[in-house]
Amino acid sequence: MMKELAPSNAASVHKKLQRVIHVNMDVQSRLFALLLKNHVMKDLDLVFCLLCSKKYKVHDNRQSAKKNLQQQAEKMMKSSEKKFAPVPIGTSVRIAVPEVDRGRGDARNIIGVVLAKSDDELYQIGTKNGILKQSYSRSQINVCPRALLDAEDVPSTEIALRSVASLQSSGTGQGFKKCHCKKN
């Protein structure tokens, strides 16, 4: 651990710093932070080489970028929490089926019920055909105004969303069957 520096011994610190100027970046950054903290930098006319001064600037810019990204993430999380309220377990929900997972005549949504909620705010959804393999975030599901499905009606088998879409469709899933016989 480094000792606290007083402005009175600034000249000796300057000479020591010149010897240490090209060593480990971690040591340099600690020394630089200590000098800034104790306002010794103002008393010294430190002459850093161009490479070292760039290193300090890059380090400072990265630290401020990290802090700003964390603030932005917190702001986005607060906004998301306001927009999408948590869904209680046992609530009926609607899940949009992506276009690549459904046929032309299939339903665009699947009705399910919330079975569990993880610590990461991800929901496990069950349908009348089974429990969906994928967990869904709050923004991927829409709450139904009425209870359409109960948790007791969900079988314990795991199933993919594409399979549920084809099982619940009135057609045959993604493809259509045609008659290839020749009529006279």
List the strands of the sheet with 109-117, edge to edge.
Answer: 141-143, 92-96, 109-117, 123-127, 130-132, 158-159
pLDDT tops 80 at residue 25: no
Residue 130 region, left (φ>0) first, then alpha (ψ -120 to 50), else beta?
left
What is the three-class DSSP state of 140? Answer: helix
pLDDT tops 50 at residue 148: yes
- Per residue in 127-140, pLDDT (tens digit) is 999 999 999 988 88
pLDDT tops 90 at residue 17: no
Strand segments (E) across the chain: 92-96, 109-117, 123-127, 130-132, 141-143, 158-159
From 40-44, 89-93, 96-100, the region with the lowest mean pLDDT: 40-44
The closest of 62, 61, 1, 64 to 30, measured between CA atoms, is: 1
Contact 144, 79 (CB under 8 A): no
Q: What is the pLDDT of residue 43?
A: 47
What does the domain layout of the chain look like in residue ranges?
9-83, 92-168
